[in-house]
Each structure stands twice: as C-alpha cells, then as structure tokens.
Amino acid sequence: MSFDQFYIEQYQDRWASLREALLRSERQIARVNQFQNSMFISQEHYDCPAYSGTAFFDVPAGAPTRDELSGLLQYYVMDPASLEVACALSVESHHDVLDMCAAPGGKTLILAEALKGGTGHLIANEVSEARRDRLMKVIQQYVDRETRDRIRVSGKDGGIFAKSHPEAFDRILIDAPCSGERHLLQSPKDLKAWSPQRSAKLAQRQYALLTAGLICLKSLGRLVYSTCALSKLENDQVIEKLFQKKEGFKVVEIPLVKAAERTKYGQMLMPDNSGYGPLYWCVIEKV
C-alpha cells in the first residue's frame, strides 16, 4: 500500500487538503519566556485561555535575544498546538512532573514555568543523546537558576520509569515518537523508506510508553498523551487499546480548543482547518 492510499483510507476525500496543508510552511508563535523580564508589544496575540503568559504571531526575524536583566532568552518559537498540549496537563507549582519524551524542549519550558516559585520537581527525559543535548541547552538558556535546580534531565527508555518510579508523579506528559507526516512529506528519503508497518510499530511503542506512564502516575494524577501524527493507529486507537487491556483510569474531557476537532477520546488540531499541527492529545486521570 502506498503512503497516500494509507491516508486516503483513513481520511477519504479530506486527505487531499490535509496533504496540501502539510506541505505548506507551519504557522508558528513566539511564546514569551516567563523567566525573563522584557516587555513585548504585538498586534496579534495567540489566544490560549489555559495559558497565563503571552504568545504572539509576530515572530521576530533572526534568533531570540537575551534579556539584559536575567540573561535568559526572551521568547521561544513553537507550534501553537504544542502550547495547548502542555497547558492541558494543568501543572501546579507543587507538582512532581515527568516529561517522558521531552526534546526539543518547548513543552518542557511551559511545564518548568508552571513550577516557578514552588516546590515541585520536573524530570525531562529524552532517550536520544543528540536530542538530549539540545534539550539541556534549551533549559539552560530559558530557565532561571532556582527552577533549574529542581529540573533533572535523564536519558532513560521511557518504559524503565514504570520500575524505577511507580506512582511517583502528579503530572506526566507523553509526547510520543510518531509518524510525523509533515516531516515525511518534506523528506523524500524518509518518505521512500515509509511502509504501512511503520505506523503499526510506532503504535506498539506508544502503547508501551502509555502503560508505563499510567504506572508512574499517582492516584488522581493527570497524564496527557499526544502525538503529531495523522495516523489514527497512533492516536485514538492507542487509547482504545488501553481501555481494552487496562483499568484504573478515565479520560478527562477538557474544553475544546479553538479550531480543534473532537475525537472519540481527545481532540486534534488539523493543519487544513487551523493552520497548526497536526497534533492530537488525550487527557487521562488515574482513579
């Protein structure tokens, strides 16, 4: 089965518009770093009711500059959909948090900001050494010393946390490795190597990370599972499998984000409708 046929079977006539949207440049935002002190004036802010900070569409040209007082970089450029996913975790300053697949670090920074001035801790985990190095650099460039002292960067396989940290975290983010169709379509080499089995294997890996996360979660804790995949095997079907095989959790239905689409278990920002993503997320609570 070809790449296009695989997605036509899932999205029918809509696949043409989705494919076209994936080939366009992503619309991004500049999210103001809450650990620095500079003020920003912008004509077009990104509205995220769950976010207490500022993000704007007028992304400055060139690299972010450092705030003179704090020495930290002033803003972080990211997909608006990633901001929504991190906010869905509802981190409070006293929480112990695990970001299981943390690189490149945009969501990690939002979680770290939520811990500002509190007593909570954050483990930012990334199994890839190269991506982990980038993650550590981002944390050093954006996070103040006091909060940084409560962040630990690790490089474990995500499943190991189930053995080493059972019922240890109030909040867990699993932004799982996924098909990433936007990248595939823009990389002829990777697209040529694609096969339908790739998505199925990724779904197996995602399920393993999700079950590990459920073990690591404290009672009444919250977990957000997300992917940037359009393949339904990697989104609602992973949650469906969790319902079939595990118990002791429930899906939390949160308010629908502007321009998002409701799925069976979560919601999704689709590039043809919103201009962002794709990004799927589902909120789970341990009961």
- Catalytic residue numbers read 228
* DSSP per-residue string spanning the chain: --HHHHHHHHHGGGHHHHHHHHHSPPP-EEEEPTTS------S-B---TT--S-EES-PPSSSPPBPTTT-SBSEEEE-HHHHHHHHTT---TT-EEEETT-TT-HHHHHHHHHTTTSS-EEEEE-S-HHHHHHHHHHHHHHS-HHHHTTEEEE---GGGHHHHSTT-EEEEEEE-----HHHHHT-HHHHHH--HHHHHHHHHHHHHHHHHHHHHEEEEEEEEEEES---GGGTHHHHHHHHHH--SEEEE-PPPPTT-EE-SSSEEE-HHHHSS--EEEEEEEE-
| Cβ atoms of residues 170 and 221 within 8 Å | yes
* ∠ CA 119-158-161, rounded to 5°: 55
* ∠ CA 259-265-267, rounded to 5°: 15
Q: Centre a 10 Å sphere on the Cβ of residue 88 and count the other Cβ atoms it contains.
A: 22
151: tokens are: 């962040």
